[in-house]
Chains A and B, each alone.
Chain A
Amino acid sequence: MYLRNDSKPQGSRLSLRVAVIGGIGVALFAVLFFRLWNLQVLSGDEYLAEAQNNRTREFKVIAPRGDILDRDGEVLVDNRTSLALQLNTSKLPEDPAEERAELARLGELAHMSLRKVRRTIKEGEEVAAGAPVTLRRDVGFDLIAYVEENQEEFPGVSVQRVFVRHYPDGTRAAHVVGSVGEISDEELKEPEYKGLEPGDEVGKGGVEYSYDKFLRGDPGHTRIQVNALGEPTPGGQLVSEAPTPGSNLKLTIDGDVQAAGEGGLGARGLPGAFISMNIDNGQILAMGSNPTYDPTDLIEPSQQQVDELYRDPVLAPLVNRATESAYPTGSIFKIITALAALENGRITPDTVVQDNGQIEVGTDTFENAGGVAHGAVELRRALQVSSDVYFYLLGLDMWETDELQEWAHKLGIGRPAGLDLPEEGETLLPTKAWRNQLFKEGNTDRPWSSGDNIQLATGQGDLQTSPLQMALAYAALGNGGKIPTPHVALEVEDAAGRVLKEFDFPPQRKVHIDAGYRTAILEGLHAAAQEGEGTAAGVFGGFPIPIAGKTGTAERLPHADQSWFAALSPYPNPRIVTIATVEEGGFGAESAAPVVLDILEAIYDKQASAVSSAGGSE
């Protein structure tokens, strides 16, 4: 012990202790300096970035989607603004009881039960985790005022002005325009949705989907300085960048023709579809499917609604039957059989066949509809009266070859039609190889037989095709061999109507069709539609515009017969193909032909009035 208070402590022992403490002091200060150097000099930039991130909050200003217009500029889809009650779930109180209380208060305001509030939140989180959940759209101003005045009672609750898709004509062209919805987690990963965030709205079907990048627009941003509680600080608006609205999309669809088709098909009261297309450039003038739906219902569908109404497997209103369904077509297929037989030299247009009402092949009997015998028929007559026997014999003649299938394939049956909508269904062109393969795998009871080809020759049997594919085949016949690319997009315009982009869809391919054969077939079709005993003469006999048309009555067991009609107009130099089908609609002339008639009337009435009013000619 060195302590004696009256003198200084013994030098060496004290200085050792002082030196040790001094050393510790140096070490501690060195630690602090080193840490400061590390924080401020070496990693300062990172922390600065973090700090900036910390203190600003970016509010997205949603861009309205572009309008969707018909070819005359009539609005099919636009937007209306709506006030939506949104909830940022990350800001809810951590305490479960407080959270529950807040959700209950919210539910009371929005007229939702607590359970419904929770379910809405859960559903919202599933669609887009992290994005604010929209509890209710179209809330009133009184509710908003209340929430804003009592902000501290509703942490995380905000009111957003949102754009909601608006469909002035309800169901009009619903399957073409499609619907919109919140971007899904899977979509977020896809390159075409780069830059989008959870909660953003994207097209989910129809042109809303196909042309999303034009319609979407770019959101604007407002950066606001906030304090640690996320509250805006005075004068803290840093940047404001206005949103760029989406461009308008003008469709090839003619609203009047579309309305006529929907009206005509709807009047049948049966499921079905129609399509009307320009055969030269592939522009679709009208396309519809029944039953249809109002896309408004899909903006905020309740699960129940979707399940009960839209997931009905039989009615399937969301399915575009013009492009997604697959049916046997009945006699409208006969033009393909005719072309195959003619081009392969099996017949000439004048080859005469004796139609006794039926043929027997092996043990099977194939007969005309109703067992009628048409007597001696050549191609034109066979088409006019729809002699099945004539085409049975062609099918039989070609059954060991792929001639019929090759022509059907060339004309677009059983292969993607190249439509600019996401909705295209699976179809099937039955071939020898296909069935033999199935048989080899033990999936069917027999290999390819003559009966299969005989059935196919009249659009029966295993054939599964869509109105769209048949439209392509008729288009090629009508224009002399061009397979157009079917499409509904005409051009992209800005809000002022200036054209930003014109869509050009060149024909997909060309098929050589002998002009004489084409003429012969068209003659037969014209006779079928508008002359004497023609199968559709009862419908189109009085129609002032000459057309070429073919009825079809497809057996589609266990359903009743399906009605088809395909028309090329005007005859003899057609510009437009129009096809309609009505499930369980009976004979072609019975229900499908009248739908086509409605469409053609709309097209030519309009043309006539345009010609007369413009005084021009076309």
Chain B
Amino acid sequence: MTMYATRTRNARPEPFTVHVGIAERLGLAHMDWPLTIAALFLVGFSVFTLGQATQNDVPGDPNYFLERQAIYALLGIVGMIVLTRIDYSRFRELRVGIYTFLCASVSLVFVFGFAARGSRRAFEFPFFSFQPSELGKLLLVLALAGFVIDGARRGSEVQRTVRYLCLGLAPAALVFLQPDLGTSLVYVVATLAVMYFGGVPWTHFAVIGGALIALVALVLVVAPTAGTPILKGYQEERLTSFLNPDEHQSGAGYQQNQSVIATGAGRVTGRGDKATQTRLDFVPERHTDFIFAVIGERYGFMGTAFVLSLYALLFWRALRITTLSKNSYGTLVAGGIAVALLFQTFVNVGMNLGIMPITGIPLPLMSYGGSSVLATFMAIGVLQSINVQAHLSQRGRFAW
């Protein structure tokens, strides 16, 4: 396998290209630039915000979070460029391997994982820790899209739907047991998204939707009353406290209340260095899950609207790529990635604004964390690859 897939596929001289520029050499010529710019702005804003807001967090090292996030961002950008230049279609062929790796990696944390706050999610390495479930989001989409394409002509529609669901829900269940409720929800949503773009009939989604509602009712209402709670107490409290935050002033509701106060206090233009809520420990996890509240307090509506617009742009470009893809695999992958990004963004921002439950889903590209930043950039790299391949195939067709 060559790393320069685009080159091999376009070995013939191209009549409309006279000069081969540097961008072309790097394989960047057909990147979706709005998507790239949105991603770079977001991660840049993240680094900038962390640099300003976390100076006193690590004694003696004011730039602790800034430096690390910058390194993760650079690694992520490199990963994105590398993936841009790879023909994503290869991943379809590797689907079984990818899927096996995914399930193995999220299982291995149970054995070798590093326990943080009661859950085993990450491998601990000398200089960093790696959370396989973050990369797993992308791996799941890549593998599942492959399975969907592969299985398109096998079995009845119901059988296929059940098969995809099982394939998607197996890693989701493993992640749920780590326990990492938020990430497992992303897996479920990504699975459904891939199935959706894979053409699973609407009626099946109606049934799945009904089953989901029943499941939620079971988990939150029936099981606890029957004495066999499925969720851990804090998980249930987090999930339901946003409905009435005043009743949970000191627990889960407290965090959300503080986050809402912080965001609101930023008003239109933000409080800058006068920001107190997010500087003086009122808002918990402010560099990860609640970084949006930091932006809200420091930069106000102008900052949050800007960030939200970047996410809207990101989502739009990702969705657009689903329609441009040269093949169905690309459509499914792009659709899965787009919906997963939308879901994570909405749930995280909604959680910061007190309208969604606390699920511990990081804000893509903004929340501090190497695994998340790297995985998101890689997902965007795959999107870019789909875009590049679409352009190349179109041009190829045109050329021929």
Residues of chain A having any CB pair with chain B under 8 Å: 1-9, 13-15, 17-18, 21-22, 24-25, 28-29, 31-33, 35-37, 39-41, 43-48, 50-52, 54-55, 225-229, 233
Contacts and interface: CB of A to CB of B under 8 A. Distances in A.
Nearest to A29: B312
Contacts of A39: 260, 263-264, 296, 353
Interface string B333-358: 00100110010001001100101000
A58 to B, nearest CB: 15
A36 B322 CA distance: 29
A39 B261 CA distance: 9
Contacts of A51: 261-262, 264-265, 276-277, 282, 297
A574 B134 CA distance: 101
Contacts of B260: 39, 47
Given A3-B148, A7-B327, 13 more contacts: A1-B152, A3-B149, A8-B325, A9-B328, A18-B319, A18-B323, A21-B196, A32-B350, A46-B264, A47-B262, A47-B264, A47-B265, A55-B280
Interface string B122-162: 00000000000000000000000000110010000100000
B239 to A, nearest CB: 19
Contacts of A52: 265, 276
A28 B353 contact: no
Given A25-B315, A36-B353, A5 B327 contact: yes
A8 B311 contact: no
Interface centre among B198, B199, B264, B267 (most CB of A within 10 A): B264
Interface of A is mostly: helix
Interface in B296-310: 296-297, 300-301, 304-305, 308
Contacts of A36: 263, 296, 301, 304-305, 308, 353
Interface string B209-242: 0000000000000000000000000000000000
Contacts of B264: 39-40, 43-44, 46-48, 50-51
Interface of B is mostly: helix
A386 B301 CA distance: 94
A55 B268 contact: no
A35 to B, nearest CB: 5
11 contacts: A3-B148, A5-B328, A5-B329, A6-B327, A7-B327, A9-B199, A22-B319, A25-B319, A48-B265, A228-B258, A228-B281
A32 B349 contact: yes
Interface centre among A5, A14, A18, A226 (most CB of B within 10 A): A5
Contacts of A228: 258, 280-282
Contacts of B253: none
Given A3-B328, A40-B304, A41-B301, A48 B267 contact: yes
A425 B322 CA distance: 93
- Nearest 7 Cβ contacts at the A-B interface: A47-B264, A44-B267, A51-B265, A228-B281, A40-B301, A55-B276, A227-B280
A37 B276 contact: no
B266 interface: yes
Interface in B266-297: 266-268, 271, 276-277, 280-282, 296-297
A41 B268 contact: yes
Contacts of A28: 342, 346
Contacts of B312: 25, 29
Given A18-B322, A47-B260, A52-B276, A227 B281 contact: yes
Interface in B332-386: 335, 338-339, 342, 346, 349-350, 353, 355
Interface centre among A4, A25, A50, A54 (most CB of B within 10 A): A25
B319 A226 contact: no
A34 to B, nearest CB: 10
Nearest to B296: A40
